[in-house]
Amino acid sequence: MSRFVLPAAALMTLFLAACTPTPDEQQEATAQSEQRAEEVAKPAPVEPEVVAGACDDSQAQWAIGKAVTDADSEQARKDAGAESVRVIGPDQMVTMDFNEKRLNLDTDAKGVVTAVRCG
């Protein structure tokens, strides 16, 4: 019986060695595991701060196509949550400073709003 035990043990060792992953596979699995762990450990992206009085031009898009009046420009300012409004005519020179609390109403030659944007 001991004659069969030694060859059987050697055969079992060979079978188990064949099932063992190669070092490359182990390194790859380890690298993937580490990468997943790093991704999980990363902090969540920080949402940009909403500044009080910051402009949201999407709330004043209704003004496009309307002739500018003081009442409409003031309503657009309130709807956008801006602190100020600036009506800009065609070819009118304006400052290039960005003011996140200001609503700009771009108009054509007839005084009709063509674009609403913050800045």
Residue 29 has a pLDDT of: 79
Cα-to-chain-centroid distance, residue 26: 36
Q: Give CA–CA dist 64/112, Å, rounded.
A: 7
Residue 38 has a pLDDT of: 79
Cβ-Cβ contacts under 8 Å for 24 (sequence gap 6 or more): none
Residue 67 phi/psi, 5-degree rounding, is -70, 140
For 11, the token pair is 């055969």
- Whether pTM exceeds 0.95: no
Q: What percent of the chain has pLDDT over 90?
A: 49
What are the structural domain ranges in the chain?
Answer: 2-41, 57-118
Residue 53 has a pLDDT of: 58
Domain range 57-118, CATH architecture: 2-Layer Sandwich (3.30)
Q: Give CA–CA dist 80/107, Å, rounded.
A: 17
Give the pLDDT confidence of 1-59 residue by residue, as tens digits.
566 666 776 667 766 666 666 667 778 878 888 888 777 777 766 655 545 558 999 99
Q: Give CA–CA dist 105/53, Å, rounded.
A: 17
Q: What is the mean pLDDT of the chain?
A: 82
